[in-house]
Amino acid sequence: DVQMTQSPSSLSASVGDRVTITCRTSRSINIHLNWYQQKPGKAPRLLISMATSLQSGVPSRFSGSGSGTDFTLTISSLQPEDFATYYCQQSYTTPTFGPGTKVDIK
């Protein structure tokens, strides 16, 4: 199995801040990396697939980068509706999720 780590596990930020979340995998997955957002009591929402491909309807302040084993999700200017938990997930082999990064209000 491909093991996933995320850092940080949580962060506190203010509206307007630039936020970066990192995901690392135990072996190369090319660009088969997805990012999801989950708000309390809600199902996850796919934000980015294949490391960089923004899904329809997702605001352009979200972006993804990386390949191989190191990936990044960036929110260029944090908005009130972005406070949530973010998960990375690899689709290269049997799917696995990262442990999540909780983004809350400073």
**Which chain residues interact with another protein by CB under 8 A?**
1, 32, 34, 36, 38, 43-46, 49-50, 55, 87, 89, 91, 94-100
Task: Calculate Rg over the CA atoms of the chain.
Answer: 13
Closer to another protein by Cβ: residue 65 or 96:
96
Closest distance to another protein from the beta carbon of 66 (Å) = 16
Closer to another protein by Cβ: residue 15 or 46:
46
Closest distance to another protein from the beta carbon of 47 (Å) = 11
Closer to another protein by Cβ: residue 44 or 68:
44
Closer to another protein by Cβ: residue 62 or 87:
87
- Whether the bond into 8 is cis, omega within 30 of 0: yes
Closest distance to another protein from the beta carbon of 78 (Å) = 22
